[in-house]
Structure 1
Amino acid sequence: MKTLLGLAGTLTAFAIGSIQAAPLTATESAERDRFAAREHDWRNGAVVYQIIVDRFAPSRDLDAKRALYPAPKTLRPWSETSKPGPYLEDQKLSAHELDFWGGDLPSATAKLDHVQGLGAQVLYLNPIHLAHTNHKYDAFDFQAISPEYGTRADFKALAAEAHRRGMKVVLDGVFNHMGRNAPKFQDALANPQSRWRDWFAIGPQYRGGARVWTAFQNLPELNLENLAVRKHLWLDRDSVVRGYLRDGADGWRLDTAFELGHAYLRELTDAAHREKPGSLVVGEIVNHPAAWLKSIDAVMNFTLRDLLLGLVRGEMEPAMASRLMARLVDDAGVEPLLKSWVVIDNHDIPRIATQLPDLPQRRLAQALQFTLPGAPNLYYGVEVGMTGGADPENRGPMRWDLVRDDHPEMVWTKQLVALRQQHRALRIGDYRAIDAQRLFAFERHTDRALETRIVVANPSDQPVRERLLVRNAHLMDDTPMVDVLGLVPDSVVAGFGPGFVTVDVPPRGVLVLAPRPKDLGGYSRYKRVP
């Protein structure tokens, strides 16, 4: 496996040997510059590791924090999993929203070795601001950090340590609503003359007295049409968005981003870029992403998720999936898709091991997650095969007792991350569909012919042989192709050309093919192409 992965880095050097590089045309030079710019942008194709601070790592001093979890909150032992609880009418929420495990920012910082060891480049934190519940989507104060998580200084320390390791940090911005028990909202609800009254939509026409998010009485919506609200959240220099960027955050993931609307998303994104050029604003947008990507850097690509899962579950024919994927890339554009997160599971979705209990099927889905355009999102615990159904079962405490170097899921996760790190086309390459009937096939390519990678997946339960046309004019006739993923043992495609490749893919199998020029005694067919 190591030999195959290492092979890719030497292909170009082997091909040109000591031959002086041919001059580039103007078009080739522009292509080189385009891909170089992509490569220097950390947002493109990064591996994202997501954590819930309360559930990621046990506090090093839990006894000192017990007073921060007064009833009806419950502090659970780390060995206990997360389970649904009854609805609490007086709290306007469910009991499991008040179950805590005691993780905090210092304990998360202490586990950065683990995240870095997986090869992840971005740490994404679910909300950390002051709130009542464990999930923190019911903010009391966006500027303050929940005391059970730590302090603003603790966040700065985490960001500094992540940066020292070459990693970035993305925070969760919940700017569509606050919490019902937030002092601003309580004052606005009780006092018609409150300075916060027009921060919310309040009136008898609303059940409960105020407009709330999706009928959840604990989540009153913010009135973003009020300029003062937007100044507080993202426009002013000391706003939430800009202040945390100065403190070390490198970007924001926006909760229910589509509800902010195009104009405010653009305004927020521009404000973030003014504060920190090159920062990332990625939106939780479940809709088709194309139009939204004009207002924001990237999306959590749920359209791609549904397409991917439909394919691997056999709910969508490969040929149809290929057409839809090509349409998605054409509609949205590859540049923002490279920055968009490829999500299979997260805090709102059952864990992948629960969604796809069949191991070969799961391996196929994850291989596609790491080879299709975008930034793969790893939800904490996937590397040890954590299971869990719908919220809150998918939010259990991290299983550190399962973490070991030889855990099969850990080995596989590191293998996928290494594949992406060592193959430039998989991180920043363009996408081109390959026509097939029974296989899902595509090409990732850059400005360098020998960096081309051809991905061929067979979601069926039968072996498939197909002859495929690869429309890459710079892949030379009679170039062998070798599988660099290694999921299918001993897979070498004997020859390529003229433009065709014949592949044999076992059931639930996937190949990632790289060109390997023949040793022709110093001669190379690739000597005068990029």
Structure 2
Amino acid sequence: MTDPDWVRHVIWWHIYPLGFVGAFPAQSAPTEDQHRLLRIIDWLDHAVELGASGLALGPVFASRTHGYDTTDHRRIDPRLGTDADFDRLIEECRRRGLRVLLDGVFNHVGTDFPRYRDALHSGSGEWFRRGRNGFATFEGHGELIALNHANPDVVAYTVEVMDHWLSRGADGWRLDAAYAVPSSFWAKVLPQVRGRHPQAWFVGEIIHGDYPTQVQAGGLDSVTQYELWKAIWSSLNDGNFHELDWALQRHNTFLQTFVPLTFIGNHDVSRIASQLTDIRHVEHALVLLLTTGGTPSIYAGDEWAWRGVKEERAGGDDAVRPEFGSRPDGPDDTLSLHQYLIGLRRRNAWLHTATTEALQLSNTGYVYRTGTGTDSLVVALNIGDAPMNADLPAAGRVIAGSGAPPVDRVQQLVVPPHGWVIVD
């Protein structure tokens, strides 16, 4: 494993900046003199109170629309503000002990990228891959032009961009659409960047496939664990914990070589409260996220069980990328549960590499041990309509759960319908 030591303790609070500050979509694009990036600072205390130790930012670099059509990787998007605003955000994150993860789009660029405009004019486009009818695009999106990753100049450019922003205070990079980039490209880029920034962390956006091979071939630290994300919500919806157990067994094998980035929500998928057919099971999804191995990420708004459905159409992401105004007032059960479970996670840093073992398994009931070495917890999940009896391998103390469970040492549990319990 190549994770820097600090990653063992990090829990990301993930935001999509252009939507978060109301810069996109917008009837008229804001200008840099509005300094909208600074609005994020008003939310940093919330991230700390939530228990997060890192801020994972979506795209912040100059682009024409949604941020993934980059125009200039070296410039903060003027709809967000200026480079000085970025420096101020980094300073405020540092003051609160928050790490910062940037979103790097190095598979493709937007049609306003200067070298692409030059290539259209001159007919010479060594920076871009060729397709059947001109330059290749990313997954058929005509406004996203695929870079030529075999070009040494593209390698050098990517190294320079990563180095620039890491030198400005970032701690790592999420590599967008890493699944579409040859592993040989990352294998050329990342060692050069690590040589200058040995404590930087690199996570690739990988949807499916052979995660360990892609990590090792590209020299990545981590990848996005979409397999587990899917298994969590679909097993809860279908009443099929066998699917979840299979995914967690796969997850165990991944943890032998790398620690995946785990999540139950992000800027590209429907919010978990909308994804689940039974809102009561949001708790179960969160318990799974924060009691299994991985580097967890909380998508901003999920801590209040906000809803939003991603649709496959133009503007279909907007519902899951809303503007954030003022923080909701008053107590909130979902927020409180996030705070408790994140606190549990941070007090037990060994959970970062914890593997799971099924102790009891049925379609609607799942009891598992999660542990590393001599450290362990037992988690019992019930999504059935009847109480579930569970025998523990040893007596333990109930430290959290639904249905007002006992706090004394127990070896037998009765988990209420649609409830859960964690035993230390």
TM-score, length-normalised on structure 1? 0.72
Taking structure 1 as reference, are residues 404 and 414 closer, same or farther at Cα in structure 2, changes over 3 Å only?
A: farther
Taking structure 1 as reference, are residues 308 and 58 closer, same or farther at Cα in structure 2, changes over 3 Å only?
A: closer
Counterpart for residue 52 of structure 1: 16
Taking structure 1 as reference, are residues 432 and 222 closer, same or farther at Cα in structure 2, changes over 3 Å only?
A: same
Match of 2:417 among 502, 507, 510: 507
- Equivalent-residue separation in structure 2 for 1:164 and 1:142 (angstroms): 26
- Equivalent-residue separation in structure 1 for 2:387 and 2:186 (angstroms): 47
- Equivalent-residue separation in structure 2 for 1:269 and 1:484 (angstroms): 42
Instruction: Please say if 1:302 is aligned against 2:226.
Output: yes
Counterpart for residue 314 of structure 2: none
Deviation at 1:210, TM superposition (A): 1.7
**Aligned pairs (5 A) from 1:2-401:** 41-44=5-8, 46-57=10-21, 74-75=27-28, 104-133=36-65, 135-193=66-124, 197-202=125-130, 205-206=132-133, 209-234=134-159, 239-288=160-209, 289-294=211-216, 295=218, 296-316=220-240, 318-330=241-253, 332-334=254-256, 336-337=258-259, 340-356=260-276, 358-390=278-310, 391-400=317-326
- Equivalent-residue separation in structure 2 for 1:431 and 1:389 (angstroms): 31
Larger Cα Rg: Structure 1 or Structure 2?
A: 1
Extract unaligned runs of 5+ from structure 2.
311-316
Deviations 1:97-155 (A, max 9, x none): x9x9x77222212321121121111101111111111x210011111111121222221
**Aligned pairs (5 A) from 1:332-481:** 332-334=254-256, 336-337=258-259, 340-356=260-276, 358-390=278-310, 391-400=317-326, 403-426=328-351, 428-438=352-362, 439-447=365-373, 449=374, 451-467=375-391, 470=393, 480-481=395-396
Task: Name the SS for the 1:400 alignment partner.
Answer: coil
- Equivalent-residue separation in structure 1 for 2:54 and 2:79 (angstroms): 23
Contact 1:334 1:431 in 2 (8 A): no
Deviation at 1:467, TM superposition (A): 3.1
Deviation at 1:304, TM superposition (A): 0.8
**Letter matched to residue 112 of structure 1:** L
Deviations 1:139-178 (A, max 9, x none): 1111111112122222122112212211100000000000
Task: Name the SS for the 1:123 alignment partner.
Answer: strand
Counterpart for residue 313 of structure 2: none
- Equivalent-residue separation in structure 1 for 2:242 and 2:22 (angstroms): 47
Deviation at 1:480, TM superposition (A): 3.5
Extract unaligned runs of 5+ from structure 1.
1-33, 60-68, 77-97, 471-478, 496-500, 515-530
- Equivalent-residue separation in structure 2 for 1:486 and 1:344 (angstroms): 19
Number of aligned pairs?
A: 411
Deviations 1:359-383 (A, max 9, x none): 3211111111111111221111122
Identity score, percent: 27
Deviation at 1:233, TM superposition (A): 0.8
Task: Name the SS for the 2:45 alignment partner.
Answer: helix
Contact 1:457 1:509 in 2 (8 A): yes
Taking structure 1 as reference, are residues 352 and 217 closer, same or farther at Cα in structure 2, changes over 3 Å only?
A: same
